[in-house]
Every structure is written in C-alpha cells, then in structure tokens.
Chain A
C-alpha cells in the first residue's frame, strides 16, 4: 500500500491529536488482562465506552428516570425530553430530514428485522426477488430469507471479488429481473471493505428499487449523510459507536415509515384502543411499542456528542493510518496473508497465518493482553466464498495507537513460534 509505505518512510505515524487524552476517557483501557495492559482490537464486535457515556446513563437513573410519553409529572416530562432530544441528536448525526424518520430499536439486527417484516412483507409478492451481497453479516441475510419464505420470494446474492470488493457490474446486472428490494452493508464487518453505496443506491433507484444500508460498521468510522446517500433505510447499533448495548437506530424515509404497518403491538404505539379497532400512533412511535430503552437512548446521545467533539473525519483518518500501519507490519510477517485487500477499507484487518489456526492466534494474543476476534465473523457465506473456515480479525477504534499495532504484530510472531 502506497500510503503505508509513505507513512513508514516518514517515521512513526502521528497519533490522532487527543488520542492519548481520549484513552483516559475510557476507564476499561487501563485494566490489565493476564497481567498485561489491555490492547483492545475487537472494536468491530463492540467498542468500549467513554466516561461521558457511562456518566450520562448513570445521571439519567440518578435524576431523570421515569416512563416516557405517559406521566403528567415532572420526571416523566424530563425523561420524555431526554429521549426525544436523543432522537433529534441522531437525526442530526445522520443528517435525516426530520426527527420522525429516526426509530429507536435494540440494534442493527432488530432494525433490519423490522424493515423485513413490515416493509418487506408489504412489498414482496410471489416470484419477487431481494438482492443482497456475498459479504453480508448474517443479520442482513437471515431476516430476508425469513421474509422471502413467507412471501414466496427469492434471495439473490451479488458476488464478491477475490479482493473482497463487490463485483459492481454483476450487482448492477442482478438488479434487473424481479428485484423489489436491495440490502447492502456499507462496510464489511469481516473484511473492512467500504462499498460504494451511493453509486449502488443510484443504480437501484434508477430501476425503482429501494435500498436498505446496514451501517453497523460504518457509522462509528465514517461520516454518514442519509440524504446525500439517498438510501431508503439506514441502520446502526449504538454499542459499536461507543454507546450502550441494547440501543440502535433505524432511519427510514418518512414516506416509507408512514406506509409500513406496525412491527409490534402494545403501549406507546397507539392513539386509541377499543376492542373493535385500534388507531396507531404517528411515526416514529408507531414502531416503538412498550417502554423503550430510554437510558440507552440517552447514552447513545452522549456517545454521538463525544464522537462529534473529537470529530468523525479525524477519527476516520486516524483509523486509516492505523490500518495502513497494521497492514504493513502484519503483512510482512512470514506466512501471513491479509484477507480483504479492497482499495477502500475501514479500520478492519482480517488475516490468516500458515499453519496456525485463527483460534490459536486468538488465544495466544489474549495471553499478551491483545483482544481480537477469531472465527467466521457471522459471515459464513463470505467465508465459504473465500474458501476459509475462519480468519483472525483486528479492528481499530479511535483510542488505538501505533504502539498497539506493534504489540499485535509481536503477538502474531509469538504464535508462529509456538506452532512452527
């Protein structure tokens, strides 16, 4: 990679201004694992939480806790405002046109299931087709299989090239026929490939096909503008964005959300209930049956504030530098092969080592304090396509440093010594 060679030639890569300060914001990063300082490189699975997020959740329970949209009392009003302000914050983060286009859900998985079970069922008829890609996470495959089964529709899969990039020509050709819906990941969780989603959405829209974008691995790393992308739906999880678990976001164009039937029934999603007829609430509340994860929304808002304060473009640049550095350092270890060499990648490095299984690499790295993921990354069809049972994956966050990349590389060398 040209960029990394240039970086290495220039000496040690600069750390994101404020990274050393940022590290102090994450209490867990100062703990030790097996007696070694924690090197957390499993950010694609979940990120660690800054004090600001932990404090916001705690503060909410200390001084604001009540149910939302219900009480006449002061605390309920306060909780409702905190929850709805979080929604506005998310709308601004994604540059949605309106706050009501933001639905709070448990995470990206629930968001995709929601769209599949409501919009999908509404739209799909027998013989119709749904287009996904070979690099999807199971969460962007299985919900579509389920809805295809119910509707008598068929799932089509756009192929991935050996580099881990999408075969864009094939994708465009496959939009023909009876494709009624397309779902694609913005960034591959297994390989780090950044898909040209804007272009892909344009191709789909030219044929009147709506597109859902799975942004679980993109939202924490690259600025997202849903209006510029033009996507019909965009989903992400709070916990991969330095926020709490159990809170996530579905963005949907208002016209779609309006037309969709509710996902679940219960309190909060209704205007009026009689045993004869129930009138549903307006969007987005129509999709938020039951007491929502209020503290989660508050925590997510704090996470977005935190991320914006550092600046997503700076985070993005920092993570690309780390990726370039890791690609170079890990890639030159004998017997190592980097899996996924797309030109556009987010901070994810998947690799395999000759004669050393990814699990064994994971165990040995763990004993060096280095946390990575080993396995199929919930993308078994992609692993089958690449002919690999598993890979080892290091994924970077805003708090990682070049020194941690060195420790990763040293750990991999150690793993080779054990087995070769």
Chain B
C-alpha cells in the first residue's frame, strides 16, 4: 500500500469503521438531523441529547464509506460533554485539518488527527465532514437535512 493510502486508512479509522462507537438511535433525542451526500449516496442520522448546555448523549446510524463512518464514530466520542460553542469550534478546526492547510490545529485534536491524510484526497473531504455538517444542523436547526452539496 502506498504511503498516501496508509495515511488515509489509519488503523484507528479502520477500527472505527469496523466497530463504530455510539452507533445507535436515541429514540427520545431532543436534537436530530439527517445528513446526505447526494454525490455518493452516503446517508446518516445524528441524535443528540442536551442537558445543562452540554451534549449529554450522542449517537448516529446510517450507511457510508469507511471515512464517513469512522468520522461519525470518532466525532461522537469527541463531542460528548461539549457545549454547542465548543462543538462548533471543534468542527472549524476539524474542517481545517481535512480540507485546509492543517496548520494551527496540529497536535491538539487528539484522535481526530487520524483524518489528516484526507487532505491528500480532495474528493473524500465530504465523506470526512458529513457527520460534522449533520450534527451542526441538529444543533442549530433541528429537524433539517444537512447536505454536503
């Protein structure tokens, strides 16, 4: 496998694709949104429960490629216990990591750093950010469908 591919499909991404964490519906969620990547047919639903301004519970279901599934899975872990503002800030930095220069965000995103390899694959940026767009929709305008298009 080439170095590019190895950095795209890091062990942690392969692992979270195989066993996605928080992969469950939350029937009584107070925030939920659907995400759609019309280009490739990836679809997911994100569920969030807020309590005292913090994300107390978060889950997702759906179907997508390894990048989008692992991204959703790691995102749920990263957002648990965060405020909406913190979630927004994290999304900005994550987006910078996968699509931008990556500078400034290095060394501070923990497990999410695994997605730095996506930068070399511009067509896969949408896969990595679908869950993030969706959770942002859930937090800001519950009941809407997020789209990467």
Contact = CB atoms under 8 A, between A and B. Distances in A.
Interface of A: 34, 355-360, 363-364, 367, 374-376, 380, 383, 389-390, 414, 418-419
A390 B66 contact: no
B41 A376 contact: yes
Interface stretch (B2-10, B51-59, B73-81, B84-92): B2-10
A419 B17 contact: yes
B35 interface: no
A170 B51 CA distance: 54
B40 A34 contact: no
Contact of B5 (A357, A359, A364, A380): A364
Contact of B41 (A363, A364, A390, A418): A390
Contacts, number: 54
Interface string B84-124: 00000000000000000000000000000000000001001
Contact of B42 (A383, A389, A414, A419): A389
Contact of B1 (A358, A374, A376, A414): A414
A34 B14 contact: no
Contact of B40 (A355, A359, A364, A414): A359
User: Which of B41, B63, B66 is the most central at the interface, judged by chain A CB atoms within 10 Å of its CB?
Assistant: B41
A355 B1 CA distance: 19
Contacts of B66: 356-357, 359-360, 419
Interface string B1-44: 11011001100001001100000000000000000000111110
Contacts of B40: 359, 374-376, 390
A415 to B, nearest CB: 10
Contacts of A390: 40-41
A363 B121 contact: yes
B67 interface: yes
Contacts of A414: 1
Q: Which of A360, A374, A376, A383 has the most CB of B within 10 A?
A: A360
Contact of A389 (B2, B8, B43, B121): B43
Given A418-B14, A419-B14, A419-B17, A380 B41 contact: yes
A194 B14 CA distance: 38
A66 to B, nearest CB: 41
B72 interface: no
B64 A357 contact: yes
Contacts of A389: 41-43, 63-64
